[in-house]
Structure 1
Amino acid sequence: MLHLCCHVVRNLGAKGSLGKGGSLAWKQWCAPAVPVSASRAAWRALQGSAARAKDNIIIMGPPGAGKTTVGKIISCKLGLPFIDIDDDILEKTWNMTVADKLSEIGGEKFIEEEGKVLLHFSANESVVSLTGSNPMHTAGMQRVKQGGIVVYLDVNTEDIIQRLSKMKVTRIVGQGPGVSMREILRYRQQFYEKWYDTRVLCGAGETVDEMVEKVLKALQRYQDSESETFVSTRSNLLDKDGSDTDPKFFSDVVIEGLAPDGGLYVPRSGLLKLTPGEWLRMVDMSFPERSQVLLENCIHPADIPASELNQMLNKAYADNFACPRIAPVRHLKRNQYVQELFHGPTASFKDLALQLMPQLFAYCLPQTCNYLVLVATSGDTGSAVLNGFNNLNEVERQRIAVLAFFPEEGVSPIQKLQMTSFKEGNVKAIGIKSDFDYCQNVIKQMFCNSKLTGYLAVEYGTVLSTANSINWARLLPQVVYHSSAYLDLVRQGVIAFGDPIDVCIPTGNFGNMLSAVYAKRMGIPIRKFICASNQNNVLTDFIRTGEYDLRNRQLSLSNSPAIDILKSSNLERYIFHISDGDWQLVKELFSQLDREQYFKIPNALLERIRTDCLAGWCSEEECLSAIRHVHSATGYILDTHTAVAKVVADRLQDRTCPVVISSTAHHAKFAPTVLQALKFQDATGSPLDQLSLLSSLGSQPPMHAALLKSLRGSEKQKHKVCVANFDSLSDEVENVIQDSFLKAY
C-alpha cells in the first residue's frame, strides 16, 4: 500500500506537488494566502472559537468509507506519519486482534473499551484513521478532537454496503439482531455529525483519488480561514498589492447588514459549485440535512462551526413548521408545480430564512455592545423577523432588539395583526403613513447617517443592523429551498438530475429571485428565471428594456402587497454579478437612480439578463381569476402572490420542462381577497371569521394552525402609527433602545 501511495505522489504533477521530497508539513501547505488580521483574531477570542492550527488530520467515517486507504495516501502526499487506530493502537494495546476482542466482550462493552484506549492516545502532526465506532464514545472523541482537525468522510450508503459485502463484513459494532446494515449506518450518522470539523461529501461511485482530492481541498479551506471575504457592490476594497484593505468575513457582514458605502455585501469569490454526484447525495436528505450541506459550503467554519450550525438548523426547522418536509413541492396541473414555502410559524416564505438568521446573528455578535435590528417590511418580513428574534434565549434578547417599519395602509389586515401582536420584550412594529419604499429608504438613511449612528453608539452602546434581504445572512438560507425544490422533483421521479426546470417567482425586492440565481450558480440546472410582478411592474419593464425608470411612477396598492415595491434592493447584487463584479458601474447606476430616479444598463448586460430571465405582470382581475379557476379545477387555493406567478407562468413558460412556482404565503393571510375571488357574497366579519369560512371549504392546503393561534386575542390591540418623517422615526429608534436595553442594566 505504501508503494501505491508514493506512486500517486510522484504522478501528481505541478498542481499536487509539495516540492522536493513532498515533506512539507501540512500546516505549511495549508497556510493562508492572506495574513490573519488582528480584528479577526480578536473576534475568534470573543467567540471562544479561535482558529488555531491543529496538529493532526483525523479521518472519521463509517466502516467501509475508505478511511484507511484515503488516510495513507494523504499521509504520503503531506509527508506525515500515518496511524491506524485499529492496527496501530487498539491491537497493540490489547495484544489481540480487534475481531477477537469484539468476540470476547461484545459490542456495547467494546465501544467502552476502545474509548478508554483513546483517552490515552497522543500524536503530533500525523494522519489518524479512526475506527467506525470511535465517535460513539464521547470522552474518547473529545480527547482526539483536541489534537487535530476531524474530517468526516460522508460516503454514499450503497457504496459502503457494497464495500462491506466485498470484505465479507455482515455485522458492525452496535448492530443488534434484526437491525439492517442501512439502519445501523443511519443510526451512526448522528455521532459522526457531532464531531466533525469539516465534511467531505462523496458522490456515488467516487474513486479513491477523487476522495483524496476532496479531503485536501477541505483541509486547505478549513485552515485558510482568511480567504473567504466579502466585498461591497459599490467599491473594490483592495490595496494596490491586491490585498483587502479591510477584509470582511461572514461574521462581519451578518452584523453590519449594509456596507458602509451603501452597497450590498457579496462573496468575493462567489459560491462554491457542487458536483452532480454531491447534489445526488442530497436527494434523499431531509430539508435540515440539505441545509447543513449547502450552508457549510457557504459559511466558513471559522465563522460558524459545523456543530453549531447543526444545532441552529435543528432549532430553526423543528416542530415550528407544520409540514415535516418544510418546503414541499406539489403538482398543480400539467407541467406546473408549487413549492409551498408557507408552513413556518408566520405562514410566509420569510420564515425559511428568519427562523435561522437570528441565531446566526446572535452567534456572531461581539459581547461589547447592543444591537438594534431595523426592518422595513411590506408585510411578511415583519412578522417573520419579529417571531424569529423573539424566539432567541433570554440572554440574547437582552442584547438584541428589533424595530419593524411597515406601511400602515400597505399590508393586509391579517399581516398587520401578526406584526402588532408583539407588544412586549425585544421586538416592536410601527406603522408608517407612507409606502414600503419610504420605509426601506429611511432605514438606509439611518445607516448612512453618521451623526445618528455615532450618537446611538456613544450614548447607548448600540449598533444598528438589518434583517431585510439586503443582509447576506437573510438571503443565503433562501438558496436552500430553491435547491431543495429541484431535488424533490428528482426524488419524485419527475426529472433526472441534469434535466432543466424553470422557476417562476412573485417578487418585488428581487431577493427571492436572486437566491434562485445563486442556486443555479451552485449547480442546480435552472433554465429560466421568470419574474412575476403585479401592476407595480418596474422589474418587468427593466428586464424587458434595461431601463429602471421610477420617474412619475407611483406605487399602487394591490391585492398582493408583499410585491408592492418600486425600489428593488437586491437588483443591485444581480447587476454586480452579471457585470462580472463591475462595482464602478453598479455605483454609477444606483447613484444615478438616487439622483434622477432612472438608469439604463448597457445593451451587453441586457442581453445577459434576457438569456436568463423572463418577466411579466398580472392585473388585479387576472389575479382573482387565477385563484378562482385553480380552485375550481384542482381544489387548491392559491394566495394572491402565488396567483400572480401562476398567471405569468401561464403566459411566458413554454411547457417544455417543469416550472416550479414559488408559493410565498398561505392564502389565509389574504382571506378577504381570496374569499372575493372564490365568489363568497358575505366575506365580512373579523379575520378569524374569514379564516373559519375558508377552513370550512376543506380545500388544500389546509388552514394554517399557527396563523390562527397568533391572531386569537390580537384583533382589538392598538399599535403606534407615525408620520413619514426622518426625525420622528429616529426618535422612535431611540425610544426602542431605551425600552429594550436600559432596563437590562
Structure 2
Amino acid sequence: MLRCAFQRLVHAPPRLHFIRRLYLSTSTPKRDSLLGDKNILLMGPPGAGKTTVGRILAHKLGLPAVDVDDDILEPTWNMPVAAKLASVGGQRFLEEEGKALCNFSTSGSVISLSGSNPLDTLAMQHIKRSGIVVYLDVDAEDIIHRLARMKVNRVVGQEAGVPMKNILRYRKQFYEKWFDIRVLCGRGETVMDIANKVLNALEWYNNPDKFISTRSNDTSKSVYFSDVVVDGLAKDGGLYVPQNGFPKLEANEWVRLIDKPYQERTFILLEKCIHPRDVSGPHLKTMVMKAYGSNFASEDVAPVRHLMDNQFVQELFHGPTASFKDLALQLMPQLFAHCLPPMCNFLVLVATSGDTGSAVLSGFNALKDVYKHKTGVLVFFPGDGVSEIQKRQMTAAWEGNVRAVSVGADFDFCQRSIKQMFGTPEFTGHLAVEYGTLLSTANSINWARLLPQVVYHTSSYLDLCRGGAISFGDPVDVCIPTGNFGNAISAVYAKSMGLPIRKIICASNHNRVITDFITTGSYSLHDRPLLPSISPAIDILKSSNLERFIYHMSDGDGHLVKELFTSLDRQQHFSVSGNLLGKIQEEISAGSCSENECLEAIRGVYEKTGYLMDTHTAVAKVVGDRLQDGSCPLVISSTAHYGKFAPAVFKALGISSVPEKPAEQLKRLSGVAREPEMHMELMKCLEKGSGLQQRSCEADYGEMVEEVEEMIQESFLKVV
C-alpha cells in the first residue's frame, strides 16, 4: 500500500507537488547531505529521465524534489508547458522560461531542469550558483525511443522537418558548457541504474581523488591531482599513482564511445580520471579540443590501419613532431599551466631519448603568453643517442623560455641526473629561495604526461569495433615498442578500465632489459652497457615506469617497490618473487629484436603492402610476429613516422646514394612510400631548424646543474 501511495504521489498534478515533497522528506530518514545545503541540479535532453531520476534521488536522500516544468513553469504560467510553447513560439518561450528560473530560489533540493534551461545563459548562471550540475548524458537512440513512447514529436527550437537527432546534437554543446559532473549512461540503462550512478558520482565529487607515491603505503601523505601535475616526482623519489586505482567502465558505456571522435572519447574518459575540482569538465573539453585539432595531420588523430592478416597498426605519429609523444604533450602543458600556483616560476626539466624532447618543446611553446613568462622548459638529450632529424627538431628556433642541451652521455645518465636534482633538497631549496623557481618534469614520470596515453589504447580498440573488425567484448593483443615503459603501463591502465585487452606485448631492441625482466623476474644493470641502435627512442636501460607496473601488479605494495628500487639504485639489481613474476607474465609478455631483424621487417612489410614502417614500429612487428598466436587481432603501436629515421629506412630498402641533408632525405622517401604520407610538419621543422647553433655540455652532473641555473637566470631574471 505504501508503494502504491508513493507512485500516486510522484505522478501527481502540480497542485499536489508540495504534498509529494513533504512525503518524500518524511518517508525516508534524511541522511547527511552529500553537498550540504547545495542543490543537486539534474540536466540533460528531453527524455533523459531527469524528472524520474530526480524523484528517486530525492527519495533516497530524503530531500525535496523540484521539477522545473511542473513546479516552476506551469504554476508561473498557469498552463501546461506544451500549451505555452504552442502559444508563444520557441524564442519567446526560452526568454520567459529563463525569466521564471531566475526568479526561483531554493536550497538543499534535487532539481530536475527542463531540457531547454541550459540554452539561457542568465538562468543557468543563477541556478548553477545554488548547487552542482549533473549532466545525464544519455544515448541519443535511447532518447528518441523514449520520446516516441511519450508521443513527443517536437521540442523547443525544433522546426518542422528537422530530425530530433539534429536537435539533440545541437543542444549537446550547451549541456557540456554547464555541467560539473557528467554521468555517462550506457545504452538501455534503467532510471534506477542512472539514479545509482548519480549517487556514486556525487560521492566521488564530494571526495576528490588522491594520489600516493609508489614507494609508500602511508595514505596520510597522499596529494591531489593538481599537486601531482606540478610536482612531477614524489618527494620520496617514487612516482605518483591514483590511490584508488582507475575508474572502470561497464560494457554499455564503452559501446557509447565507439562512434565518437577521438577528441570526445578523450575528454569523456579523462573526466573520469581528473576530478572536476582540479579541472572542470568544460575546461578539460577546451584543452582537449585545442590539443587534438588542426595541429594533427589526421582527423582521426590516432587512426588504426589494417596492415596484413590479423594485424593492425595504430598510427601515433600524426602530431606536430611526428611521434606518439605528441598525444600526451599537446595536452599535458595545458594541464600543467592550469594547475600552476600563482606566485612561483617553474622550470620543467626533461630527459629524452629522442622523441620526448621536441614534443615537450612543441607543447609548451603552444601555451598562451600569460603562462610562458612563468614557465621554462629545459631538455637534456644524449648527443650521440638520437637521430639527426630528432636533433634538428629539438634545436629548432623555438620561441619563449624553451631550450635543448646536448649531453655527452646516454639517456640513462640524463634521466639519473635530473632525478638527482629533484632529490637534492639543498639544490631545489636554493632555486626556490634565490630565484623563486620550482622544478617539475614532463617525462612520463609525470602523471599528467602518462594519463593521456591511456586514451589512445582505448581508442584503437574502439576503432576496431567501429570498423567491424571485432565486436565489443572480443579480445585483442597489443604490441608496444618500449624502453621507459610509459607506453606499456598506459596499456595496462587501459585494460584496468575494463577494455578487453588480452595480452600486452613489450618489444625491445638489443637493449633488452625489459624483456629479460619479464622473462626471468630479474632486473640487472650489471655489466650491461647501453648499446646504440637504429631505434634510439627505446635505447633505455633504467625504465622509470616499470616502478608503476610493479606497484600495480603487487596490489599497491609500496614497501616492496621501495625495497626493489632502492636495491636497483644501490646494487644495480633486484629480483621479484616467483608468485609476483607469475602475475606479471599473465599480464605481459616480452621479446627483443636484433638490428638485422628490424631492417628485414621494414623491407618485408614494404614489399608486401607498400606500407613503410619506422624502426620502432618494425621492432614491435618482429616481436609481435614471434609472440602472438593469431587467434585475435594484434594492434601494433606505430610510435613514430618513418621520416624521423630516414637513414635506417633507406638501408632497410636497399637504397643507395642517400641525400646528405635531412630535408632531402624526406623528399626522397616521400616518393618511395605508398603509405603513410610524408609528414609535412616534420619537413617544415627541419627547414626551420637548419643551421642553428647547438648547446652542449659534458657528461658531468655539475655542468648540467650550471645549465639549469643559467636557464633560470635568463628566463626569469630578465630586466625589461
TM-score tier (shorter): over 0.9
In structure 2, what is the Cα distance between the partners aligned to 1:722 and 1:424? 22
Establish whether residue 571 from structure 1 lines up as the match of residue 554 from structure 2. no
In structure 2, what is the Cα distance between the partners aligned to 1:58 and 1:186? 21
Q: After TM superposition, which residue ranges in structure 1, 4 or more long, deviate above 4 angstroms?
A: 1-9, 18-21
**Structure-2 residue corresponding to 1:45:** none
Establish whether residue 22 from structure 1 lines up as the match of residue 28 from structure 2. yes
TM-superposed deviation, 1:450: 1.1
In structure 1, what is the Cα distance between the partners aligned to 2:398 and 2:148? 61
Instruction: Point out where structure 2 has 5 or more consecutive residues left out of the alignment.
Output: 10-23
In structure 1, what is the Cα distance between the partners aligned to 2:207 and 2:379? 38
| Same amino acid, percent of matched pairs | 61
Asked if 2 retains the 8 angstrom alpha-carbon contact of 1:257 and 1:467, the reply is: yes
In structure 2, what is the Cα distance between the partners aligned to 1:62 and 1:298? 25
1:597-651: CA deviation from partner (whole Å, max 9, x where unpaired):
1111111111011111111111111111111111111111101100000010011
Asked if 2 retains the 8 angstrom alpha-carbon contact of 1:5 and 1:76, the reply is: no
Q: Which moved more, 1:431-440 or 1:139-148?
A: 139-148
Q: 1:30 to 1:119 in 2, by over 3 A?
A: closer
In structure 2, what is the Cα distance between the partners aligned to 1:424 and 1:480? 29
**Structure-2 residue corresponding to 1:357:** 332
**Structure-2 residue corresponding to 1:610:** 585
Establish whether residue 706 from structure 1 lines up as the match of residue 689 from structure 2. no
Q: SS at the partner of 1:373?
A: strand
Q: SS at the partner of 2:272?
A: helix
**Structure-1 residue corresponding to 2:181:** 198
Asked if 2 retains the 8 angstrom alpha-carbon contact of 1:5 and 1:73, the reply is: no
| Structure 1 counterpart of 2:699, one-letter code | A
In structure 2, what is the Cα distance between the partners aligned to 1:700 and 1:63? 46
RMSD: 1.8
Establish whether residue 174 from structure 1 lines up as the match of residue 157 from structure 2. yes
Q: Which moved more, 1:553-562 or 1:82-91?
A: 82-91
In structure 2, what is the Cα distance between the partners aligned to 1:192 and 1:433? 54
Establish whether residue 129 from structure 1 lines up as the match of residue 112 from structure 2. yes
Give the one of 328, 342, 347 matched to 2:322. Answer: 347
Give the one of 385, 403, 406 matched to 2:378. Answer: 403
| Structure 1 counterpart of 2:202, one-letter code | L
Establish whether residue 383 from structure 1 lines up as the match of residue 358 from structure 2. yes
Establish whether residue 646 from structure 1 lines up as the match of residue 621 from structure 2. yes
Establish whether residue 494 from structure 1 lines up as the match of residue 469 from structure 2. yes
TM-superposed deviation, 1:490: 0.9
Asked if 1 retains the 8 angstrom alpha-carbon contact of 2:611 and 2:673, the reply is: no
1:283-337: CA deviation from partner (whole Å, max 9, x where unpaired):
1111111111111111111111111111111111111111111111111001100
| Structure 2 counterpart of 1:728, one-letter code | E
TM-superposed deviation, 1:543: 0.4
**Structure-1 residue corresponding to 2:136:** 153
Q: SS at the partner of 1:684?
A: coil
1:163-210: CA deviation from partner (whole Å, max 9, x where unpaired):
111111112111223321111111111110111100111111101111
| Structure 1 counterpart of 2:445, one-letter code | I
Q: Which moved more, 1:395-404 or 1:678-687?
A: 678-687
Establish whether residue 185 from structure 1 lines up as the match of residue 160 from structure 2. no
In structure 1, what is the Cα distance between the partners aligned to 2:552 and 2:559? 13
Establish whether residue 255 from structure 1 lines up as the match of residue 261 from structure 2. no
| Structure 1 counterpart of 2:250, one-letter code | T
In structure 2, what is the Cα distance between the partners aligned to 1:166 and 1:423? 59
What does 1:226-237 align with in structure 2 at a 5 Å threshold? 228-237=209-218
TM-score where L is the length of structure 1:
0.93
Asked if 2 retains the 8 angstrom alpha-carbon contact of 1:2 and 1:72, the reply is: no
Q: 1:181 to 1:21 in 2, by over 3 A?
A: closer
In structure 1, what is the Cα distance between the partners aligned to 2:639 and 2:346? 29
Q: 1:270 to 1:20 in 2, by over 3 A?
A: farther
TM-superposed deviation, 1:224: 2.0
1:236-277: CA deviation from partner (whole Å, max 9, x where unpaired):
224xxxxx1x33011111111111111111111101111111
Q: 1:558 to 1:6 in 2, by over 3 A?
A: farther
Q: SS at the partner of 1:680?
A: coil
Establish whether residue 290 from structure 1 lines up as the match of residue 294 from structure 2. no
**Structure-1 residue corresponding to 2:21:** none
Give the one of 403, 416, 420 matched to 2:391. Answer: 416
Asked if 1 retains the 8 angstrom alpha-carbon contact of 2:98 and 2:117, the reply is: yes
In structure 1, what is the Cα distance between the partners aligned to 2:702 and 2:25? 64
In structure 2, what is the Cα distance between the partners aligned to 1:744 and 1:508? 42
1:690-721: CA deviation from partner (whole Å, max 9, x where unpaired):
01111122511101111111111322111111
TM-superposed deviation, 1:23: 3.5
Q: Which moved more, 1:590-599 or 1:528-537?
A: 590-599
Asked if 2 retains the 8 angstrom alpha-carbon contact of 1:6 and 1:76, the reply is: no
1:517-573: CA deviation from partner (whole Å, max 9, x where unpaired):
000000001111100000000111110000111110110111100000000000011
TM-superposed deviation, 1:235: 1.6
In structure 1, what is the Cα distance between the partners aligned to 2:450 and 2:270? 12
TM-superposed deviation, 1:88: 1.3
Q: 1:662 to 1:2 in 2, by over 3 A?
A: farther
**Structure-2 residue corresponding to 1:46:** none
TM-superposed deviation, 1:3: 4.5
What does 1:50-199 align with in structure 2 at a 5 Å threshold? 55-199=38-182
Q: Which moved more, 1:195-204 or 1:87-96?
A: 87-96
Give the one of 688, 705, 713 matched to 1:738. Answer: 713
Instruction: Point out where structure 1 has 5 or more consecutive residues left out of the alignment.
Output: 10-17, 32-52, 239-243
TM-superposed deviation, 1:113: 2.1
TM-score where L is the length of structure 2:
0.96
Q: 1:23 to 1:417 in 2, by over 3 A?
A: same
Q: SS at the partner of 1:430?
A: strand
In structure 2, what is the Cα distance between the partners aligned to 1:156 and 1:459? 55
